[in-house]
Structure 1
Amino acid sequence: MPTELVLPIDPERYAAFLAVMAVMAVTPGPANLFSVANGMARGKRAVLLGVVGMSAATLVWFSAAALGLGALVTAFPDAFRLIAWAGALYVAWLGAKSLWAARRPATETAEAPPIRLGRGPLVDGFLVQLSNPKAVLFFTAVLPPFMDPARPAAPQFALFAAATIGMDFVTMSAYGLGGAALARVMTRPGVRRGFDAAVGILLLTAAALIGLRH
């Protein structure tokens, strides 16, 4: 008799997960706000580097989930709060740095070199996503119900990770490239100060979302 084909993941569960993930990916949160600010301050290339950094952090979260993230959060809640608050403070520092840059004289032109927000878009993106409360909520509350205990866990995690990172990559890139396009359009002298202020406000908002949700 032919062996019945067993799929690595239940199609109905996966379809439901894709619907939920699509909504979460497009909803503005710390990662998407960072992408906008990153694009406005650094340009298109930095947007993609920042998204790569955030995607790498998502892989770290998936690895932690595979090792039992829910149990770790329950056992060591203070450690995860500390990570979140450290990330919030770092993003707030980037926002304050951008606001400080907005104080420069209006006679400087918008073609001036973009401010350096932190250690670089790749590292900044990684740190933002690593401390993102949306990620903790996703891996401890959203993902578990879609896992099928009757099937091997590794293939399920791989397919969930591919969908999550793929959708996040598209939406975060779109947010960031939109910010970069806006920055290119506004090239009149003195407008750079307004962009720096907007970047600072976006980053401080992201920091507040990280801190308040924890």
Structure 2
Amino acid sequence: MDLTVWLALLALFFAGGLTPGPAVMMVMSTSLRYGAGTALVPAVGISTANLVWITLAATGLATFAASAPTVLLALKLAGLVFIAWLAWTMATGDPTQPRASAAQAPPKASLFGRGIGLQLLNPNALVFFGLLLPSYFDADHPVIMQAAIIMVTVTATEMLGLTVYAWAADAMNHRFRNPAFALWFNRAAAAAMLVSAGFAAFLTTAK
């Protein structure tokens, strides 16, 4: 992979990692409820799902899904339903409930699984990995080496962005002692998840 191509890839996913979307909202809500350390568990799940997406992009399956109307529609509907469920649980949470400790958090396997499920069904991921990422592969170079470079790059940028959001949310936890602020934030975060996923689903409409 040429250096210029890698730098372009780095810029794309660095910006993507810092752009609020369903993955960011999941990590932030987990951090606010259980602390930044616990929020990194679903973040690792999200990054693990990215490896699946990169593998699909490298083999051409993600591009096929993005160009097949029936497959694309099924992916979008499944993703929107899953994200809508996550948004509903976030928006309807009790804002007066005090912050729980990390020991009271759901099992790590559950948080990790939610991260994987969210990212595999995330229309944003379909945009990045199905429509944009395949263009960064060079047919004149070994695909496996390029995929390995992309995996390291995407994982590093994703985890950096999610870690920043996790600690930022943890730092502002004192604001959530105000139930009105907590209710407003939860509903705004839920709406942001839905809008982001809906916008991405619109972008992936087959031509």
Q: What is the TM-score normalised by the length of structure 2?
A: 0.81
Tell whether 2:135 aligns with 1:160.
Answer: no
Tell whether 2:66 aligns with 1:73.
Answer: yes
Against the structure 1 CA distance between its residues 17 and 51, is the aligned structure 2 distance closer, same or farther, given a 3 Å change threshold?
same
Structure 1 residues not aligned, in runs of 5+: 1-8
Count of residues paired in the alignment? 196
Tell whether 2:191 aligns with 1:198.
Answer: no
Against the structure 1 CA distance between its residues 97 and 21, is the aligned structure 2 distance closer, same or farther, given a 3 Å change threshold?
closer
Identity of aligned residues (%): 24
State the SS of the aligned residue for 2:159.
Answer: helix
> What CA distance in whole angstroms lies between the structure 2 residues aligned with 1:178 and 1:210?
23
Larger helix proportion, structure 1 or 2?
2
> What CA distance in whole angstroms lies between the structure 1 residues aligned with 2:66 and 2:81?
21
Residues 23-172 of structure 1 mapped to structure 2, 5 A cutoff: 23-68=15-60, 69-75=62-68, 77-102=69-94, 110-111=98-99, 120-172=110-162
> What CA distance in whole angstroms lies between the structure 2 residues aligned with 1:120 and 1:193?
29
CA RMSD of aligned residues (A): 2.6
> What CA distance in whole angstroms lies between the structure 2 residues aligned with 1:50 and 1:167?
15
State the SS of the aligned residue for 1:213.
Answer: helix
Q: Is the 8 A contact 2:176 2:182 kept in 1?
A: no
User: What stretches of structure 1 move > 4 A for 4+ residues in a row?
Assistant: 111-116
Q: Is the 8 A contact 1:88 1:208 kept in 2?
A: no
Which entry has the higher C-alpha Rg, 1 or 2? 1
> What CA distance in whole angstroms lies between the structure 2 residues aligned with 1:78 and 1:46?
37
The Cα shift of 1:115 comes to 8.5
The Cα shift of 1:196 comes to 4.9
CA deviation map 1:128-184 (0-9, x unaligned): 21122221111233222322111111100110111011100010111122112222x
> What CA distance in whole angstroms lies between the structure 1 residues aligned with 2:111 and 2:179?
19
Q: What is the TM-score normalised by the length of structure 1?
A: 0.78
State the SS of the aligned residue for 1:101.
Answer: coil
